[in-house]
Amino acid sequence: MRDRPDRPALQPQQRLQILFICSRNQWRSPTAEKVWRSHPQLSVRSAGTSPSARHHVSEEDLRWAQAIFVMEEKHKSRLLAEFGRILEHKPIHVLDIPDEYQYMDPDLVAELERSVGSVLGIDGDTTP
């Protein structure tokens, strides 16, 4: 995993605002949003970089996010090209998860729990 600046600090009673990004906001980033949605320390959203994405990433999404997770290096490059000034002080984590999974694929879920949990220093298993 690349681009691991210091972990964002979580304060008691504070929820870290996380934005997950892939290309079309169809499989990977919506899966990440669902996996992490019920975590008590996080508030999450997802978006895509493609103009045809279900939810195209917006300036508002990026301003809201305290940390951004992209599935591939190309997503980071696209964000920086389009929104460079907004992203100057935002941590962007490249997960290196290729576009070869369907929504909620068990392997994708496991990879997201491991990789995002590792960056944030939290457990991805939020089920009772």
Domains and CATH numbers, the chain: 16-120 (3.40.50.2300)
Please give the C-alpha separations between residue 112 and each of 82, 84, 87, 97, 125, in angstroms, as whole numbers. Answer: 26, 26, 23, 9, 11
Task: List, for residues 111-124, the tens digit of each pLDDT value.
Answer: 999 999 999 998 76
Task: List, for residues 21-56, the tens digit of each pLDDT value.
Answer: 999 999 999 999 999 999 999 999 999 999 999 999
Residue 63 three-state SS: helix
The length of the chain in residues reads 128
pTM of the model: 0.87
